[in-house]
Amino acid sequence: MPATIKLDATRADHLQQAASLLLAGQLVAVPTETVYGLAADASNEQAVRKVFEAKQRPVGHPLIVHVASPDRIRLWVDHLPQTAVQLIKVFWPGPLTLLLPKKSGVSDFITGGNPGVAVRMPAHPATLATMERLGRDLVAPSANPYGRISPTNAEHVLAGLSGKIEAVLDGGNCSVGIESTIIDLTGDTPVIARPGQIAQSDIEACLGITLAPGKAASQAVPGSVKRHYQPVTPTVGVANDRFAALLPEVTPAGEKIGVIWWRSPPGELASESIMLSADSNEYARMLYTAMHSMDEANVDRIVIELPPRENQWLAVHDRLGRACTEQFG
Ligand code: TXA
Ligand code: MG
């Protein structure tokens, strides 16, 4: 395949080119408000197959269907329960994926053989405009090689998939920065299958019910495989209240360390350091970019100052738990 081309999301002719490539069964990475997605025409099985090859993702792992308008969910799902209707009204377009019983005929290639199909309407205007031109829905897993951190800008996509996909549509930095919340509506009561910026309390407020605490999703779901979302560089987490005391201990002598912190400046022990934020949404927005930068900086080890164990940090802790090989404190 020729080199991956970079398209500019602010140019109408480039959106048209992205749509034409997708229509021709090619892969185009597209911006969303959460992370960049590796998009293929959901109605073209050959194109969907290419997604697994490009990512080196095991077949059998299901893909989220992305739609450009709420009514298009009816092409994938027979019956929309009232809970789905309410959630769509409040949160779409936005970082919420609904898992619902699939319509018969929806390809097992998309659902990984599951009885449910995952659907979301992303909020990035360029991707919505591309889908409108295409007139079809897209499958789009995060646009990273399997097991690696999701990309939050076009450069991250190219660093991982250059030469393996036709194009990337550059729509700038993602505003949410971590993957969408997945709510499983296939059972008797809604269950959060993957935490994200839209929190359990937001969903409870919308539906007027109390949800059971999120169950650990099955190992068959790749986002919940423990070793996932990892930087290339070995990465450890350290609790913020013991950070200063533990930092020297987790740093073998002679190693170059890169510290990602939010409250405790690491001082001279760090060869590289990146400060995040005490605000959980802001922290999430910056987290993957910080990890990608540390991978580029060629440090021997990344040390991350963990945020507090509080509800608003749930989604961030979920991702850090997967990124870190060990956590201390
Ligand atoms: O924010 C996001 O959701 C991003 C952007 C690009 O939209 N996409 C994303 O896709 O994170 P991916 O493939 O990296 O993660 C999707 C998660 C996986 O854990 C997958 O197993 C689960 O959703 N999933 C998708 N379809 C499913 C299905 N039919 N049944 C169960 N789980 C499903
Ligand atoms: Mg992913």
Q: 31 — alpha (psi -120 to 50), left (phi > 0) or beta?
A: beta
Atom 6 (ligand 1): residue with closest C-alpha?
37
Question: What's the confidence (pLDDT) of residue 212?
Answer: 85
Q: Which residues contact 36 (CB under 8 A, 6 or more apart)?
A: 29, 30, 142, 143, 150, 151, 152, 153, 154, 156, 157, 168, 174
Domain boundaries, the chain: 5-207, 235-328
Least confident of 20-29, 66-75, 252-261, 277-286: 252-261
Residue 222 pLDDT exceeds 70: no
For ligand 1, whether the C-beta of 117 sits within 6 Å is yes
CB 140 within 8 A of CB 33: no
Q: How much distance in Å is there from the Cα of 258 to the middle of ligand 1?
A: 30
Query: Dihedral angle at the C-alpha atoms of 62, 129, 202, 309, nearest 10 degrees?
Result: 70
Atom nearest to 196 CA in ligand 1 = 1
Q: CB–CB of 181/96 below 8 Å?
A: yes
State which of 221, 229, 285, 288 you would mutate to test the pocket of ligand 1, scoring each by most atoms of that ligand within 8 A of its C-beta: 221
Count of CB atoms within 10 A of residue 136's CB?
Answer: 17
* Gap from CA of 63 to ligand 1 centroid (Å): 5
pLDDT in tens, 83-94: 999 999 999 999
End-to-end CA distance of the chain: 47
Tens digit of each residue's pLDDT (9 = 90 or more) over 284-296: 999 999 999 999 9
The DSSP result for 47-99, as a single string, is HHHHHHHHHTPPTT----EE-SSGGGGGGT-S---HHHHHHHHHH-SSSEEEE
Nearest protein Cα to ligand 1, atom 3:
180
- How many other C-beta atoms can be found within 10 angstroms of the C-beta atom of residue 28? 28
Question: What is the percent of the chain with per-residue pLDDT over 90, rounded to a whole number?
Answer: 88
Output the CATH code of domain 235-328: 3.40.50.11030
Nearest listed ligand to the Cα of residue 61: 1
Q: Is 218 left (phi over 0), alpha (psi -120 to 50) or beta?
A: beta
Q: Looking at domain 5-207, which of 1.10.1380.10, 3.90.870.10, 3.20.20.70, 3.40.1160.10 is its CATH number?
A: 3.90.870.10
Ligand 1 centroid – CA 69 distance (Å): 19
Q: How far apart are CA 92 and CA 183, in angstroms?
A: 13
222 in contact with ligand 1, CB cutoff 6 A: yes
Confidence of residue 47 (pLDDT cuts 50, 70, 90): very high
Given this model, what pLDDT does residue 94 score? 98
214 in ligand 1 pocket by Cβ < 6 Å?
A: no
Query: Of all protein residues, whose CA lies closest to atom 12 belonging to ligand 1?
Result: 141
The DSSP bridge partners found for residue 181 are 96
Burial label for 213, CB within 10 Å (0-12, 13-18, 19+), is exposed
